[in-house]
Chains A and B, each alone.
Chain A
């Protein structure tokens, strides 16, 4: 079974721009969660989608948003990029809601200059 895929793998953007990242979960998985990983803050939860609805949101500003499509694929968007948004953005998929196994993709490395 194919794993979680994320595109693009690398991105370089300029401050003030916006960016959209994509995540395709493992086939059959309906829950997609997004995390930000930085050397200073570690792995932090952004939001989780299940059946096209945002079920939970972490402590990030409204510039960070996401959505999920009927095929469970998910996108996250960051508007008005800041230097501090440079990070590895990870997507994780799981079969259902509730505590249980989450499987991560390879991440998208975003660099804001």
Chain B
């Protein structure tokens, strides 16, 4: 089955700096890659996603890049703010059935 690895597990940045979180996946059939943000006491919130026919997608301060050949994708957050502090999860979906396989999460802390 699919295996998703996520790095780093913790990340601290100064407010205003950029943050990058990286994930690799194993199943070449995976074709959908969402990113979720989870704040304490809440469920994961979909913040951006990308499909396998696209190399990059941007939404204001966040962007995701996908390298299908290398089977890795990354989340980029620019101009970080304290409210960006949360746990971020990457995931992959092979599409044959709706089953997201999640990475282990990254605790992002933005220091004021």
Residues of A within 8 A of B (CB): 4, 31, 33, 35, 42-45, 48, 50, 55-56, 58, 90, 92, 94, 97-107
Contact (Cβ within 8 A) A97 B98: yes
B45 at the interface (CB under 8 A from A): yes
Contact (Cβ within 8 A) B49 A45: no
CA of A59 to CA of B59 in the docked complex: distance in angstroms?
35
Taking CB as reference atom, which chain A residue is nearest B45?
A104
Taking CB as reference atom, which chain B residue is nearest A98?
B95
Q: Chain B's nearest CB lies how many Å from the CB of A28?
A: 16
**Chain B positions 83-97 with a Cβ under 8 Å from a chain A Cβ:** 89, 91, 93-95, 97
Q: Looking at B51, B91, B98, B104, which has the most chain A CB atoms within 10 Å of its CB?
A: B98
Question: Number of A-B pairs whose CB atoms are under 8 Å?
Answer: 66
Residues of B within 8 A of A (CB): 31-32, 34, 36, 41-46, 49, 51, 89, 91, 93-95, 97-105
CA of A105 to CA of B38 in the docked complex: distance in angstroms?
11
Q: Can you identify 11 A-B contacts, CB atoms within 8 angstroms?
A: A31-B98, A33-B99, A42-B104, A48-B98, A56-B97, A90-B43, A98-B95, A99-B51, A99-B98, A101-B49, A104-B46
CA of A56 to CA of B68 in the docked complex: distance in angstroms?
25
Contact (Cβ within 8 A) B31 A99: yes
Q: Chain A's nearest CB lies how many Å from the CB of B34?
A: 7
Q: Chain B's nearest CB lies how many Å from the CB of A94?
A: 6
Contact (Cβ within 8 A) B97 A106: no
Q: Chain A's nearest CB lies how many Å from the CB of B21?
A: 15
Q: Looking at B36, B97, B104, which has the most chain A CB atoms within 10 Å of its CB?
A: B97
Residues of A within 8 A of B46 (CB): 101-104
Residues of A within 8 A of B45 (CB): 104
Known A42-B104, A104-B36; judge A90-B44 contact (CB<8 A): yes
Residues of B within 8 A of A43 (CB): 44, 89, 91, 100, 102
Q: Chain B's nearest CB lies how many Å from the CB of A33?
A: 6
Contact (Cβ within 8 A) B89 A99: no
Q: Chain B's nearest CB lies how many Å from the CB of A106?
A: 5
Taking CB as reference atom, which chain A residue is nearest B103?
A42
